[in-house]
Structure 1
């Protein structure tokens, strides 16, 4: 079974500078590899049923894929020695991101849905890096050992369950600081835990007048955190719009706006966790309707649907339900 825990990092100024340097180098490498993909794609494509009689003949080379671009990393470290500071697995994850973005553009995902043309990353759009190789004891007290980066302090507010091993650690820059998301795995816990005897089951119906209604008639009022914060967010957004692009005042306003949006998101998530715990404390089995959330998010009710956060709540509910059923 696989799950994820997120912790806030307490980095020193030198560690923050180093993380920003790594993110900047990875962003440049991502853009370079993506440009290489676009260059091959533009020079080798033609219409499905015809090709022009006179056309440019590019230099013949194989289609760049994940493995061919990954083989360029050793030469990258020779040509640009400062890339040696970055762990090899972190660089390989950068190549994997390019490969995934380009495949979704050309072929689509497992359901055949294609995404738009990948964009080059600006400094504000490349905000995370992934570590995937760890020592036997990567956590000691409230410190985490990131490969080739060193020990970092974190707010270790909940311990990792026994038997779970860290598979990846994703360091992300957010509006109010840095966070690490640990992906944990324990092969002894099955993905689906059978329930032989179910007592006190309940069904829930999601809504917009009430957040949810239980089959026994109990209602949970909808908090509408975004609606309540909309006036304050609009005021900060106006400050951003009126500031000169590139100025320090605009950067401060953007940071303030990001923190305000994150506060709304965190408050909503806290409500979802508490509601999920309240349901699981009283019921052994919870059934919910199948919702077309993406479809509803494209209607006139989009703001209310996104403010309710049904998708996030149902994901939290299912994850917590599995954790409650873990064998002790």
Structure 2
């Protein structure tokens, strides 16, 4: 079964930008694109009121889907495109599609005057619970933003792709996250920058052989060697992907925001809780989806 790239649309500027990004990604992956509109229902309404409300919701859904389809057919006519609408709750409906998708793409409003995202409860709920990757895209994201600027500094889609950045926690380096990042870089013929942030530990809690026992000037070299060793098997699998490993002494949240500056895509992992309570994400993922300017791919893992 060929899994589609799925984009959630609701007529907003951010969802249209997400649909465009999803269309380009579907072409890169040679997958169909499915546009989905999920709308909430109101169980406390009387039967007649509910029928009227549902009819209005279906009309708005059809209009939102048509608007996204028209835009995609203009900018990305080669993509194989279908659409579907579903009665909510919206988060639950989108999760059903996300869990049967190659990946789900959702929009998120850029914060005026700041670099980052304003993430709604529906998007947060999908990111926290989806078992497949979810990508968040800003409202002002354009095709040229994935590419390096032209020689004169102007935006261009004829230049190479910007770096794919992989935020990697070496204490929890998961194959799913690394594989997603390498594949994203391979499809774009882009460089992969793998970043690990470390902090000098306190003597309390150190175990035998811990890198914290190494003298201060050598710790970065030890972490870099560890990072290179973790990625070596993936370098062997993808010899055509240029990889740059870097380690920084800093808070992980601060390091990833800085590393993602100028990137085309940031890839972070999200550990799925056995019994999730509410739309929760870890601190690094939370920082990524709120403070990074490029699209963010959140890759779930156990």
Instruction: State which structure, 1 or 2, has the greater radius of gyration over its C-alpha atoms.
Output: 1
TM-score by length of 2: 0.25
The normalised TM-score by structure 1 is 0.24
